[in-house]
Amino acid sequence: MLDHTEDEAMLVDAVERFCREQLADALPAHSREHRFPTELVRAFGELGYLGTAYDPAYGGAGLGTRGAALVAEILARTDPSFAAVFLCNSAPASLIARFGSDEQKREFLEPVCAGRMIGSFGVTEPHGGSDVANIRTKAVRDGDDWILSGAKIFSTNAGTPLHGFSTVVAVTDPDKGPKGLTSFVVPVGTRGFSVGRPAAKIGWRFADSVELYFDDVRIPDRYRIGDPGDGLKQVLSVLSIGRVLVAATGLGLARRAIDLSIAHGRDRRLFGKSILEHQGLAFPLADVLTGIHAAELMVRHSAMLVDSGRPFRNETSKTKLFASQLAVDAALKAVQVHGALGVFEDCPAASLIGEAKVLEIVEGTSEIQRMVIARELLA
């Protein structure tokens, strides 16, 4: 574990205590039932952890991406699905924090920091997948309002009892292509705005992911985020920051995989000694421990770049790619350590495979990360 500032050390201690005292015993039932843990998320938010990264002027802790990454890692070491609720709220909140008006921050970011609501991110569409620029949801100017029509998919946190708003990117000038996209914030309860029903997933089991529907949704111009045409660069920036939190979640998951492997392996004996003394299992776990050390350094470095205002897109892609692959590898090795027990659903290690695989897909698939990184070859 790398050194922390005094504020970070206090944050780590507090979040670890919350996980130990309130989450560890309660979350397995929510995971089995694919049931959003409303009261636990509310309690977590009321302690101010949802606002870890944000400006104290709006109720945040001011600890930036580095602080948020610490929270995501600690949550994932307890339950990656709870970390997913945190990181998926961070995307819409960060969009408003970085590009929104003071009025928008007062109306939406402050309640997030106070734990009164969470947000969802509306970018991906049924036909588009990773092609963020190929968006069909439209927003047409009508006097002092905009009228939104279209749909989004895979919007996590939407439709839950704490869902207060969604941020949405839409086409406002079709003739300008990617430069004709604009971001908006749409409050829950706006006429014509609705969400679909959540479906069971192999990971993020209680972090609901649904479709968003915009049926001629009328919103005032004050809910436009930034200038018209800035939507794509805003979304790409927020996605790049989100990759740090996905990587931190992968790091926490890998630590959980090691925790479970050690706990089981110490008590399991074969041929007269602990199974952790057999090189066939010990060496693969040594590789995971090495990866954990590397991922921690990468997460810390990427977060520093974001918080210092330096270029960060390529580094966050490398970090997300590495840490998400580490998470999958660690999960598979944890199941292997558990042997036949690892294939049963009630084995804690078994659920890590699905949780880890999600991390290779969200906030840009591994293939997308390689495309971003490979551009360095031609720079």
Q: Which domains does the chain have, with CATH numbers?
A: 6-118 (1.10.540.10), 120-229 (2.40.110.10), 232-378 (1.20.140.10)
Predicted pLDDT at 272: 62
Listed in sequence order, the residues at least 6 apart from 152 whose beta carbon sits closer than 8 Å to its beta carbon are 122, 123, 124, 125, 137, 166, 168, 211, 212
The mean per-residue pLDDT over the stretch 65-80 comes to 97
Residue 87: pLDDT band (50, 70, 90) is: very high
Predicted pLDDT at 268: 66
- Which residue, chain included where needed, has tokens 């086409």? 171
CB 268 within 8 Å of CB 336? no
CA distance 349 to 336: 9
Q: What is the pLDDT of residues 253-275, one digit of tens each?
A: 999 999 998 887 777 666 666 76
Strand pairing class (118-122; 181-187): unpaired
Say how many C-beta atoms besides its own lie within 10 A of residue 126's C-beta: 12
Q: What is the pLDDT of residues 293-350, one digit of tens each?
A: 999 999 999 999 999 999 999 999 999 999 999 999 999 999 988 888 888 888 899 9
Q: What value does the mean pLDDT of the chain take?
A: 93
Instruction: State yes or no: is 355 an active-site residue.
Output: no
Q: Which two tokens stand for residue 159?
A: 């439709």
CA distance 342 to 353: 10
CA distance 14 to 103: 31
pLDDT of 16 above 70: yes
Q: Which of 96, 105, 97, 103 is nearest to 64 (CA)?
A: 97
Predicted pLDDT at 130: 65
pLDDT of 3 above 90: no
The catalytic residue among 73, 355, 360, 363 is 363
CA distance 181 to 178: 6
Residue 103: pLDDT band (50, 70, 90) is: very high
Q: What is the pLDDT of residues 213-238, one digit of tens each?
A: 999 999 999 999 999 999 999 999 99
